[in-house]
Copies of this chain bind each other. A is one copy, B any other.
Amino acid sequence: MSKGLPDRSNDFSAWYTQVVNRAGLADHGPVKGTMVIKPYGFQLWENIKETFDKMIKETGHVNAYFPLFIPKSFLAKEAEHVEGFAKECAVVTHTRLKSDPDKGVVVDPESKLEEEIIVRPTSETVIWSMYKKWIQSYRDLPVLINQWANVVRWEMRTRLFLRTSEFLWQEGHTAHSTPEEAEKETLDILELYRQLAEDHLAVPVYTGLKTDSEKFAGAERTYCIEAMMGDKRALQAGTSHNLGQNFAKAFGVTFQTKDNKEELVWATSWGVSTRLIGAVILTHGDDKGLRLPPRIAPIQVVIIPITKNEDQANQLKTYLNPMTEELRSSGVRIFEDWTNNSPGFKFNEWEMKGVPLRMEVGPRDIKEEKVVLVRRDSKEKLFISKDSVLENIQELLEDIQENLLRQARDFRDENTHAVQDYTEFKEVIKQGGFVRCGWNGDSKVEAKIKEETKATVRCIPFNENPQGLTCIKTGEEAKHEVIFAKAY
């Protein structure tokens, strides 16, 4: 803990790796590309999960669980889908090990499966094979099911939380009787994602539509929330797909309409993952480590007693007790650090872990009937009367939550540039930042820009205004105003 973090402005990537490690969020698993989410990181995930789970349940969704294993033939049923996932599939081929006198434990060749099994990279196919059984009539619709699960996409270049071979996520899979209802669902969920990101994670996002080249394999339309990280690169933080009738067609899922016709069902799917933890780190982190938004922070207030001996410790405990009881019973998540480490060590450690508020209490504070509060976001130090601790802490937590969002939004807005000229475009992309500009809607032009600058269209924002814009690359009339950036 004594050494500082790598310089954020110089080596953002090394800084990120160190923060994840030193804050005790996650570790690498033994199989390349896998991730261990440590208890502190997992509490963060539990808080995010609980928040979103409540949101979807309040809007009529229910949870279920579908199998990890998908027959290979299922994946192949939707052409674009298999194309999109074929290159990153973990394939199960055998079901038994045996002892070999020479080689130790080996795979038993006699246990070879007739049809290979895919470890789900996403669950559209297995779920729509079940919907085929469950949906017959308009009375069975809509189906509004979500699952919290692990999925596997084989990755070569991995980074904890951002890109790992296995990750945790939620995936919603809904079935509808009209295209309008499916489209509404897709957009309603996107709005929940925006709320989750902005109101809870304090991560400001652009909402919009993906271009064809970036849409989900098997979707008609993919909507997304896109955020700017501390290095001015973009992070796709959540996607919501209107799948049209593609999966219903692939799995033959039809329903009887009210007027007795048979029609294919309309579908959506949508997901956010443990990647959101990466977004929180990359958005709010600073030179001292993590800065966590109070609403999702595992610990909102860490209490550091400053004592020289056991007598003082006992006095402090007596002094603190009514305050901690009041805080706990009001739902404030507190932690008291009574370890033997020095106060300086503790300050550094809890700053690294991003706890929004630190409360220091020593013998002098008892005399003066106060406590010292230090904000993680602004480092501001406040002296608070012991009788108004709860009230002050509640207000401060709200203020920190808002401040983190405001800082991130200001940063993003400062680094989002409306550009009309390709030379300027390249300069902004090189320096880092988002570019808002016109685009003629041609995938080839998009690909060419990516090739030349590594920037991709992050989204066609809902508030686009292409009128009067020209395509940044070709000079033709713009079909869309889009946001370009280099992305994670």
User: Which residues of A approach B to under 8 Å, CB–CB?
Assistant: 27, 29-31, 34-39, 41-43, 45-46, 62-76, 82, 86-99, 104-105, 107, 111, 116-119, 126, 129-130, 133, 145, 149-150, 152, 154, 165-166, 168
Known pairs A65-B42, A94-B91, A97-B91; A31 contacts B71 (CB<8 A): yes
Cross-chain pairs A/B with CB under 8 angstroms, 21 sampled: A27-B130, A30-B129, A31-B117, A38-B64, A39-B145, A42-B63, A43-B62, A68-B119, A69-B166, A73-B105, A86-B98, A87-B96, A88-B95, A88-B96, A89-B94, A89-B97, A90-B95, A91-B93, A92-B93, A95-B154, A149-B150
Of listed A30, A39, A43, residue having the most chain B CB within 10 A: A30
Report whether A97 and B72 are in contact in the complex, using a CB–CB cutoff of 8 Å.
yes
Residues in B with CB closer than 8 Å to A105 are 72-73, 75-76, 82, 86
Within the assembled complex, what's the spacing in Å between the Cα atoms of A67 and B129? 27
**CB-CB nearest in chain B for A151:** B68
Of listed A45, A70, A93, A129, residue having the most chain B CB within 10 A: A93
Partner of A67, one of B30, B88, B97: B30
Report whether A133 and B27 are in contact in the complex, using a CB–CB cutoff of 8 Å.
yes
Partner of A65, one of B37, B67, B133: B37
Residues in B with CB closer than 8 Å to A42 are 62-65
Report whether B34 and A67 are in contact in the complex, using a CB–CB cutoff of 8 Å.
yes
Partner of A30, one of B38, B86, B126: B126
Within the assembled complex, what's the spacing in Å between the Cα atoms of A34 and B123? 14
Within the assembled complex, what's the spacing in Å between the Cα atoms of A69 and B45? 20
Residues in B with CB closer than 8 Å to A64 are 36-39, 41-42
Report whether B89 and A96 are in contact in the complex, using a CB–CB cutoff of 8 Å.
yes
Within the assembled complex, what's the spacing in Å between the Cα atoms of A82 and B116? 24
Residues in B with CB closer than 8 Å to A150 are 68, 149-150
Of listed A35, A90, A93, residue having the most chain B CB within 10 A: A90
